[in-house]
Amino acid sequence: MSAQSARITRPTRQLKAGITTEPTIVEAAQRLRYRVFSEEYDSDLGATTPGIDADSFDAWCDHLIVTDQSSGELVATTRILHQRNAAKAGGFYSEGEFDLNAFHQLAGTVAELGRTCVHPDYRNGATITLLWASLAEYLVKHQVDYLIGCASISMSDGGLKAWNIARYLQREFMSDEEFRVTPKRKLPHLAHPVTEEPPVNVPALIKAYMRLGARVCGEPCWDPEFRCADVLVVLEVSRLASRYSRHFMGKI
């Protein structure tokens, strides 16, 4: 078979994004989350049901999913906890890791992004762009002013990578003072010094957040369940709208 004919007969991916709270679709998203997170962080995530990453926040979130319609497979997901539902959920997920008093003082609406993951075979520009475009549409539709979320860094090497990345992000992408938070469980300091060289392996998802205009809000937190370091990031939606209005929001 020639290269040309191979390209012609190769199945074409047909990606579609949407928002759901439908239980069976949410469960498919939870299964994808478990697969991705358990492999990347070498943890069982404290799962009570084998193969499913679920917690009490899921019931109060809007779940953004990307599906490959050519196969029917759910290939990317993230969840959004809007401020209007946060009290019912017992607060934002990140309040378990950070003191969010600064955000409770803000004038404007806050929403939280969490559990973002993409199937390994779909980690490309098309999938990520569709995910962010749908997220941007949601933020505008629901009048969200500030989007927050925990961005995770693996601790598989004992923490050196996490500290290097955290220091780099604080140096290059630190938020304004009004958004600063403190971790409730500080990341253990290392016996050996952290280098000052910019890390070359910043996780792709964190790079994407920074390109959208997000900023880190302070020191990292240690998450023993996921065996990772978390940094809280904030995105001012007005900044996203101004930088990506034509790219992401042209049809809103």
Kindly write down the DSSP assignment for every residue of the chain, as one continuous string.
--HHHHHHHSPPP-EEEEEE--HHHHHHHHHHHHHHHHHHHT--TT-SSTT----TTGGGSEEEEEEETTTTEEEEEEEEEEHHHHTTTTS-GGGGTEE-HHHHTSSS-EEEEEEEEE-GGG-SHHHHHHHHHHHHHHHHHTT-SEEEEEEEEE-TTSSHHHHHHHHHHHHHHBPPGGG--EESSBPPPPSSPPP-SPPS---HHHHHHHHHT-EE-SS-EEETTTTEEEEEEEEEHHHHHHHHHHHH-TT-
pTM of this prediction exceeds 0.85: yes
pLDDT the model gives residue 60: 97
pLDDT at residue 26 in the model: 97
What digits encode the pLDDT tens for the residues 18-71? Answer: 999 999 999 999 999 999 988 877 666 667 788 899 999 999 999 999 999 999
Q: What pLDDT sits at residue 53?
A: 93
pLDDT of residue 6: 34
Please tell me the predicted confidence (pLDDT) of residue 5. 31
Low-confidence ranges of the chain (pLDDT < 50): 1-10, 250-252
Q: Domain range spanning residue 173? A: 3-248
Rg (CA), the chain: 19
Q: Name the residue type at position 55.
A: D
Give the domain CATH number at 179: 3.40.630.30
pLDDT of residue 224: 83
Number of domains in the chain: 1
Cα dist. 8→3, 5, 15, 69 in Å? Answer: 9, 5, 18, 18
Q: Which amino acid is at 125?
A: G
In angstroms, how far is CA 234 from the centroid of its own chain?
11
Q: What is the model's pLDDT at position 199?
A: 55
The answer to whether 62 and 138 have CB atoms below 8 angstroms apart is yes
Phi and psi, residue 236, nearest 5°: -80, 115
User: Can you give the pLDDT at residue 8?
Assistant: 35
